[in-house]
Amino acid sequence: MHVKKILLPLDGSDHSMHAAKYTAELAKLTDAEVVLAHCFGGIPKLLGEDGLHELIGELTKESNEILEPFVWLFHDKGIKYRKRVVRGRIADAVVTLAEEENVDLIVIGSRGLSNVERILLGSVTTRVVQMAHCPVLVMR
């Protein structure tokens, strides 16, 4: 199997950074392009049009801030990368993005930032593993 494109969903956690460092080494070895992604959850439908656009803008800005340390990791190593910010249920958004980008591999941290996710032992990661069209490498 030749890995040409890797999806790396990130949330800013230590598990994400560990996954990013591993992905950087793998991408360097395989000359793969990496898609750095951050997903923010669904938005309540109660917001009006102006409120919706304002919230999406703010969440997109926060997502780009979360991605920034990871961007530098790949930039400094001379690895091809792109950033993607998507919204929706996180596991569903990751799987959809993987299909849209036609990635060969998803590398994901085993757990996220929230205490709830720690209790559920990486429920987002579990769903991605179950639904993905490609191999998923889970980093601890």
Instruction: Look up the pTM and report it.
Output: 0.89
The whole-number average pLDDT for the span 18-39 is 97
CATH architecture assignment, domain 1-89+103-114: 3-Layer(aba) Sandwich (3.40)
DSSP category for residue 4: -
Q: What is the pLDDT of residue 140?
A: 82
Worst-scoring range by mean pLDDT, 55-64, 108-117, 129-138?
108-117
26, two tokens: 């793998």
Q: Dump pLDDT digits (tens) for 31-59.
A: 999 999 999 977 777 767 778 888 999 99
- Residue spans of the domains in the chain: they are 1-89+103-114
Q: What is the pLDDT of residue 122?
A: 59
Tell the burial category of 24 from Cβ atoms under 10 Å away from its Cβ (0-12, 13-18, 19+): buried
Q: Dump pLDDT digits (tens) for 67-122.
A: 999 999 999 999 999 999 999 999 999 999 999 999 999 999 986 555 554 444 45
Q: What is the pLDDT of residue 116?
A: 52
